Amino acid sequence: MDNMTKRDKPWIIRTYSGHSSAKDSNALYKANLAKGQTGLSIAFDLPTQTGYDSDHVLSRGEVGKVGVPICHLGDMRTLFEGIPLERMNTSMTINATAPWLLALYIALAKEQNTEPGDLRGTVQNDLVKEYLSRGTFIFPPEESLKLMGDVATYCFQNIPKWNPMNVCSYHLQEAGATPVQELAFALATAIAVLDEIQPQVSPEDFPQIVGRISFFLNAGIKFITETCKIRAFVELWDDICLNRYKVEDPKYRRFRYGVQVNSLGLTEQQPENNVYRILLELLAVTLSKNARARAVQLPAWNEALGLPRPWDQQWSLRMQQILAYETDLLEFDDLFDGNPEIEKKVEEIKTKALAELKQILTMGGAIKSIEHMKRRLVESNAERIGKIESGETTLVGVNKFVESEPSPLVDGEEVFLTYGATAGEQCLQNLVGIACCNTFKKC
């Protein structure tokens, strides 16, 4: 490469990870950072997501299974042992218990002598999509919206470099949303949160809060349409910020987003094909410079089978690194600007999304329209599944081209990481130790 060629800075490279215990997850994070990962993305287990300690009866069988269990500050210390928070850009995928997990993170930063104002990262804090697609909510919708707004206001006042919310359309697509629905439902959520925040802050400060709102998107296999969807997001968000909220400074109107590409489309059959699916979906969020993701995390090829091993995560990590550092992608301006086919598709998506968004706002906004949006997702998902079952939508290795040679990648017993059977027991022992310690005032 010519020494005079200017390259854009790569996006933040992350791996969504966490399992078994804080200690096991800490070892995984250190290993991934040593391999060149440039940010952390924390997966929490279901008890942590829904506000239960590991020793609660409802936690049985779920401790450490789909993420790391965090019950108290000691767990957070273990999770980040040897990892200086002042140098990290940490994404925490947490919603209903976001205020509490963020508080533990800030407390740990203070223990590390890091000023909270220097912390960089994101807390997802999108409770609307919990009602639409995941179900890990705790409080009613109105109270949840207030919490979302309170977290955003607190972050602006105390940790201004932190993104207080990832408006999350990722799970909407996983629940069956079309690109149009992704845009409309996510933008409706963002509007609900900003309308909640606006009366609480001064007119002078409000544009800066708008500028801290970020999004977390999904990208499916139709990567040209997905690129157009994201370009539509960029244009619609700019329009909403300017015309609805009167944000004049363009830097506060930027559409800032992170992404994990589609996990719903990964197949158990011929799982080696998932490598190509992941790569094509990565292109959807990186090819267009003006709509490029600021942070990317990729699933592993075998996630339809089980929990990926460190090697599996490394394979996805290397995919990002090769695209970012070996290719010439980051040397060019936007490859799609001025393309009439792209512009036509972007306008089509925008028009349909605005019509859907207008209907939601007419019904009273995102909170009042939760049941309506849920019905729309169920309808879309039923249509998606029906097309796969009828063969109208092709899934290579599933409903077409199903004949296959035996794969050496899945020839063996350890195709994925086995969940630690003692993980829950270890968490319980730790909690018992803390309870005894508190009883005798020795902590």
Task: Write out the residue range of the structural domain in which residue 72 sits.
Answer: 12-401+414-439
Residue 55 in any domain: the answer is yes
Residue 366 in any domain: the answer is yes
What are residue 354's DSSP bridge partners? none
Residue 387 in any domain: the answer is yes
Q: For every one of its 443 residues, what pLDDT tens digit does the chain have, with 9 covering 90 and above?
A: 455 568 999 999 999 999 999 999 999 999 999 999 999 999 999 999 999 999 999 999 999 999 999 999 999 999 999 999 999 999 999 999 999 999 999 999 999 999 999 999 999 999 999 999 988 999 999 999 999 999 999 999 999 999 999 999 999 999 999 999 999 999 999 999 999 999 999 999 999 999 999 999 999 999 999 999 999 999 999 999 999 999 999 999 999 999 999 888 999 999 999 999 999 999 999 999 999 999 999 999 999 998 898 999 999 999 999 999 999 999 999 999 999 999 999 999 999 999 999 999 999 999 999 999 999 999 999 999 999 999 999 999 999 999 999 888 887 667 776 666 566 666 666 665 555 455 444 44
Euclidean distance between CA atoms 396 and 381, whole angstroms:
19
- Extended strands (E) in 262-416: 295-297
Q: Which residue has the tokens 């995919």?
A: 319
CATH number, domain at 366?
3.20.20.240
Q: What is the pLDDT of residue 413?
A: 66
Residue 124 in any domain: the answer is yes
Query: Minimal CA–CA distance to 95: which of 57, 54, 151?
Result: 151
Which uninterrupted H or E stretch holds 358? helix 340-362
Q: What is the pLDDT of residue 80?
A: 97
**Contacts with 356 (C-beta within 8 Å, 6 or more apart), sequence order:** 180, 181, 183, 184, 185
Residue 1 in any domain: the answer is no
What are residue 257's DSSP bridge partners? 215
Count CA within 13 A, CB hemisphere, residue 183: 30
Residue 383 in any domain: the answer is yes
Residue 71 in any domain: the answer is yes
Q: What is the pLDDT of residue 307?
A: 85
What is the total count of domains within the chain? 1
DSSP, res 68: B
Residue 194 in any domain: the answer is yes
Q: What is the pLDDT of residue 421?
A: 54
Total-model pTM: 0.92
